[in-house]
Amino acid sequence: MNSIVINVGNSNIRFGLFNGDNCDISWVINTKPYRTADELYVQMLMLYQTYKIEPKEIGKVIIGSVVPQLTKVMSSGIKKIHGTTPVIVDRNTPSGVQAKSKQMGTDIYANLVAAHNLYPDRKKIVIDFGTALTASCVAETGETLGVIIAPGIVTSLNSLISQTAQLPDIELKKPKSVLGLDTVTCMQSGMVYGFLGMVEGFINRINDEVNDDCFVVATGGVSHVYKPLTEKIHVMDRLHTLKGLYFLGKDL
């Protein structure tokens, strides 16, 4: 059975077409909380046409959201297209992972669920390079061991640029050198190596606290920048959160 999985995040909405447990196609649109159901309906239909997706061939639509005002709007758009009510999943949806905290975001919960299903029999850390930078850890048993939340990398970069008069907008990529002699290289070094040091520090401290060498998964928009720069991240998977939402909703 084909399923559409939708991850409504603070910066982007990511869609995935799943054929069984495999995500064949994925696409992203910008999150705008003021979107109407009609806007989403039209945009989703256009994207379906682009990727040659027939709504009648979709057996289930699964939504996970951290933007409450968009959840109902997205659901209304789905009903118009598919004629069916989507499955909404969140931290209260049963799985092999114990969320433990009533404050846990759906995205973090989905990250832990995906890690628990995809990499069993070991402790896992999931680093999510999203609007917020999060590090979450789950045990072999599915017990949630804890979460770290820090300012996101792009969020921090945008704040730096908006609050300074002479610092330019830059591309987030590995700089030519650690020590820069031009403004762009200096900023790239600070953003890339500064946050890389934070991420490696998170991993080291979590490993020390849980007394293990955890398997580390990176996901989120800029994870591809950081994965090649450290051996502490074992896998980079941009679809990791979508896979967790799929596991949460596939049997509902």
The annotation status of 221 as a binding-site residue, yes or no, is no
Tokens of 50: 């682009």
Q: Residue 19 annotated as binding? A: no
Check the annotation: does 38 bind a ligand. Answer: no
Instruction: Report how far residue 85's alpha carbon sits from residue 61's, in angstroms, rounded to the nearest whole number.
Output: 8
Residue 107 designated active-site: yes
Among the listed residues 107, 212, 213, 237, the single catalytic one is: 107
- Taking CA atoms, 31 is separated from 35, 141, 160, 241, 252, in Å, by 8, 35, 22, 16, 26
Does 4 appear as a known binding residue? no
12 is in an annotated binding site: yes
31 is an annotated ligand-binding site residue:
no
Helices (H), the chain: 37-50, 68-82, 106-118, 153-162, 183-210, 223-226, 240-249
d(CA 167, CA 186): 10
Which of helix, strand or coil describes residue 108? helix
Which residues lie closer than 8 Å to 218 by C-beta, 6 or more apart? 126, 127, 128, 129, 226, 227, 233, 235, 236, 237
**Is 249 among the annotated ligand-binding positions?**
no
Q: Is 91 annotated as a binding residue?
A: no
> Is 203 annotated among the ligand-binding residues?
no
Contact in structure between 40 and 80 (CB atoms under 8 Å): no
Classify strands 12-19 and 2-8 as parallel, antiparallel or unpaired: antiparallel
Neighbours of 66 (CB within 10 A): 20
Distance of alpha carbon 169 from the chain centroid: 24
The answer to the question of whether 9 is labelled as a binding residue is yes
Whether residue 185 is annotated as binding a ligand: the answer is no
**Rounded Cα gap, residues 169 and 171, in angstroms:** 7
Q: Are strands 87-89 and 58-65 parallel, antiparallel or unpaired?
A: parallel
Annotated binding-site members for K(+): 128
Annotated binding-site members: 7-14, 105-108, 128, 131, 183
Annotated binding-site members for ATP: 7-14, 131
Annotated binding-site members for substrate: 105-108, 183
> Where in the sequence numbering do the catalytic residues fall?
107
